Amino acid sequence: MRADVEALDLRDVAANWVNAAALHHQVSERIKALADLADTPLFFGRLDYLHAPGAEAAEGAEGERFYIGRRHVHDADGDPMVIDWRAPVSQPFYQASKTAPMDIALRRRFGYTGGELTAYEDERLSDPSEAEQTSKLLQSEIERPRVGPMRDIVATIQPEQDEIVRQGIGGTICVQGAPGTGKTAVGLHRVAYLLYAHRERLARSGTLVIGPNRSFLHYIEQVLPALGELQVAQATVEDLVTRPALGAEARGTDSADAARIKGDARLAEVLRRALRSYVTAPTEPCVVVRGSRRWRVPAYELEEMVEELLTRDIRYGAAREALPQRIAHAVLVRMEQAGEAPDDRVQDAVARNAAVKAAVKAVWPPVDPAKLVLRLLSDADFLAEHAEGVLDADEQKTVLWAKPGRGVKSAKWSPADLVLIDEAADLIERTPSLGHVVLDEAQDLSPMQYRAVGRRCSTGSATVLGDIAQGTTPWATASWEEALTHLGKDGAAIEELTQGFRVPREVIAYASRLLPAIAPGLSEATSIREAAGDFSVRAVDPAELDAAVIAACQDALTHEGSVGLIAADARVPALAEALDAAGLTHLSPARRPAPRPGSRSSRRPWPRVWSTTTWCWTNRPRWSTASRTNAPGCAACMSP
């Protein structure tokens, strides 16, 4: 299929150079989508239908066989050889069971090792004499240690995950998932499914995956390309709100209290008040000179226009653009009363008149969002005026800068400040909306960050992923209902995944003891993975701690997989020195690994050092540096 695309002769097939460039780009993207992946097989399953899908069941009617894979594959004649996993005919591969066979006679799973077919396993779903069995291939795939970036789970999607993946684009879905339940993979596969089912719509409006940090995005970056989807943008929340053109980039930090208050949704009202304060009541009439005639719009009439626009509560910039048209209309009314017959061109000309522009500038001046936030955080009186009744005196004092910046570019903006600037910018001019947004690790976002993300999907839908029990920030919201309200998606469906696939049963049971205290509304998670003896809690004398840590790392390195070492910030340098002294190569979250020598089977995992500031409720790192050769995860749960 790729060779056919590469052989296309694009000469003299386009009407002009613009069409030719677009066509070449489309062909180039198609070739990329058809790239070979050495370790990724084209098919992983087979379905034998009792009857042809869509045909009525009749005596003697023949069934039909389909191979299921990551993408559609056809032969030289264009006949399908492999059916895309997202197609409706593929759904029984994930949903069919002995109790609901969905007209499937046989379901076959194929097993691969290094891209080579090594096993297959059959389930005769419509045969009453065959008992239901647990798939050994599925179990071995789940148990396989993770090496490299996140892989797709298309061959192992479970029924409850498939139901979420295939939900329509019409509404927002929130997926609450315990550690290791595959919520991130479900969200990514949902994007792939929506691009399959609504390709033209999303091609126009765009899709975006938002992650908590760059390490996370590196970790997941190959999932969608492996499924043939190359047009999905990825960003962090900080990426979305950074505005280099204004000079607003994060170069500073906030205290926990300041960040919590700046992330509070109440700041949206403070910003709205501050912005509206720039609008002043007109004190002078507007006099428009056209030819030998002078047309006068009195101050009281201008004031009525301003009040009407303020009452409508439309965006600052839109109202500022509407005001000159209102003034021009008032002038045209006077022209008609005087016997003239002006048209739309005259109204546009009046709206561009110097006197009208001057009147609008005096009453409704342009406002720079970064300068507005700079003034709020630097001017105590300005903040007190517009935060009255919203923030108390202590809160106002907390968010004020001790050393105000002289200007936008010299100010040491914090990540929370950038979110405020983004809010102010949206109050001035509407933020463009995408067709679909996936928001992962959403439990750590502040209400203002939710609002920033919600603006990017105000007319589209979203898939929100996270675990309320893993919230680690002082500004984290207490419930998904509250988070969805800030996101602008009230009433969105909330789905809960409670069956883990990567976290050993012993680990998740130990961690679940915290649920009554930190998230009493959540169901206790379970896991199908057993790792008896792999989980232990040991007390060590402080003087022997470094040696015990090195011994634990050396022991963990005898097993296949990735190793994560979690430590307090202050301990990281000492532990890194101890690892170096023991000859254990390691990586910090800020570094990406170099390729390791040797074959796949001879590779040994590398330990890593994390900070306790990234702990989650299973005592594992939230996210680590991701790479193509070493998957992040801890020795206990092997989860990202």
Amino acid type, 622: R
d(CA 228, CA 248): 36
Distance, CA of 319 to CA of 454 (rounded, Å) = 22
Was 98 annotated as part of a binding site?
A: no
- Is the distance from CB of 498 to CB of 525 less than 8 angstroms? yes
Phi, psi for 636 (deg, rounded to 5): -80, -50
Q: Answer whether 418's CB lies under 8 Å from 238's CB.
A: yes
Query: What are the residues whose beta carbons fall under 8 Å from the beta carbon of 496, sequence distance 6 or more?
Result: 175, 176, 177, 522, 523
Q: How far apart are CA 134 and CA 98, in angstroms?
A: 12
Q: Which residue has the tokens 């926990």?
A: 256
Number of other residues whose CB lies within 10 A of the CB of residue 330: 21
Q: Report pLDDT for 58.
A: 55
Cα gap 381→383, rounded to integer Å: 5
Q: Where are the domains of the chain?
A: 2-33, 43-144, 279-363, 538-640
Q: Look at the alpha carbons of 415, 419, 425, 431 in this order and tell me if their dihedral is positive or negative.
A: positive
Q: Are 240 and 452 in contact (CB under 8 A)?
A: yes
- Residue 306 has a pLDDT of 95
184 marked as part of a ligand binding site: yes
Please state, in angstroms and rounded to a whole number, the distance separating the CA atoms of residues 372 and 243: 14
Work out the number of other CB atoms within 10 angstroms of the CB of residue 468: 19
Q: Measure the CA–CA gap between 277 and 387, rounded to whole angstroms.
A: 12
Kind plus residue range of the DSSP H or E element containing 371:
helix 369-378
pTM of the model: 0.83
Q: Give 96's contacts (C-beta < 8 A, 6+ positions apart).
A: 102, 104, 107, 125
Interatomic CA distance for residues 443 and 484, integer angstroms: 11
H-assigned helices in 104-182: 136-143, 159-165
Residue 387 neighbours by CB under 8 Å, 6+ apart: 270, 273, 395, 396
Rounded Cα–Cα distance for residues 414 and 148 (Å):
33
Non-local CB neighbours of 404 within 8 Å, separated by 6+ positions: 374, 377, 378, 379, 411
- As a whole number of angstroms, the distance between CA 295 and CA 297 comes to 7
DSSP-derived pairing of the beta strands 286-290 and 293-297: antiparallel
SS3 388: coil
Number of CB atoms found within 10 A of residue 276's CB: 14
What's the Rg (C-alpha) of the chain? 30
pLDDT at 368: 95
Angle ∠(204,206,208) on CA atoms, nearest 5: 175
pLDDT at 424: 96
Where do the H-state alpha helices sit in 414-519? 415-428, 447-455, 480-487, 505-511, 515-518
Closest CA to 155 of 199, 185, 198, 187: 185
Going from the first residue of the chain to its last (640 residues), give the mean pLDDT of each consecutive group of 10, the final group possibly shorter. Answer: 89 82 88 82 93 69 88 91 95 93 93 86 88 76 70 86 92 91 92 94 94 90 87 93 84 92 96 97 93 92 95 94 95 91 90 95 96 95 96 96 85 94 96 96 95 96 94 88 95 90 83 86 82 82 92 88 84 91 81 42 38 34 34 38
pLDDT of residue 56: 62
Q: Residue 466 has what pLDDT?
A: 95
CA distance 52 to 103: 9
177 carries a ligand binding annotation: yes
* Burial letters 191-203, b for 16+ CB under 10 A, else e: bbbbbbebeeebe
Say if residue 182 carries a ligand binding annotation: yes
| Residue 439 · residue 453 · CB < 8 Å | yes
Strand partners, 294: 289
Q: Minimal CA–CA distance to 605: which of 549, 575, 565, 573?
A: 565
Q: What is the pLDDT of residue 591?
A: 56
Token pair recorded at residue 140: 């071995």
Q: What is the largest CA-CA distance in the chain?
A: 100
